[in-house]
Amino acid sequence: MPGPLLFFIFIVVIDLILKSAKDKKKIEEAKNRRTQELSKQPVPSRPMADLRKILAEEVEKERQKEIARRQGKTNQRQDILIKEKRPDINADDKKADINEISWEVRENGNRNSENKNSETVSSQNKIENNERNLREDILRGIIFSEILSEPKSLQNQRRSL
């Protein structure tokens, strides 16, 4: 009885070994086919020149916006200076306008104190805007890096090989 049982076990073991060898060959052939298909297909290269142009245009737009903001601020300052200028007073009108001049001096003093308060508020606004711009720039950088990077599916396929 042990003879036929050993013969049966021997046949089963040989069958398992042959099946595992066939499976291994199939897996290797599938890998080879996959690598050949990847090498046959031209990698859809993104036109880097176009992407660079797009990025350059985006940067230029941001610069233009910043320049426009700066010019707007300088125009506002010039308008304020023009409004504050007053035509020269004649010698005859000086005596009559002494009260008005002293009133204007007091108003200018009040304006200066208000300007100091507004300057602190504006500096706080600038800090908040800078933080917002920094966040936006970081977000844009992440988006552009994802656009310019290799597709995730190709990265994963190369890892599996």
Domain of 11 in residue numbering reads as 1-40
Helices (DSSP H) in 41-160: which residue ranges?
48-84, 91-96, 98-148, 152-160
* 149 within some domain: no
The encoded tokens of residue 72 equal 């707007």
> Tens digit of pLDDT for each residue in 10-67?
999 999 999 999 999 999 999 999 888 878 776 556 566 677 788 888 888 888 888 8
CA quadruple 61, 64, 65, 69: dihedral, nearest 10: 170
What value does the mean pLDDT take over residues 59-78?
78
Least confident interval from 59-68, 92-101, 134-143: 92-101
d(CA 125, CA 119): 10
* 26 within some domain: yes
* 55 within some domain: no
Terminus-to-terminus CA distance in the chain, angstroms? 49
* 58 within some domain: no
Domain count, the chain: 1
Other CB atoms within a 10 A radius of the CB of residue 55 amount to 14
* 24 within some domain: yes
* 2 within some domain: yes
* 36 within some domain: yes
Q: Model-level pTM?
A: 0.27
* 35 within some domain: yes
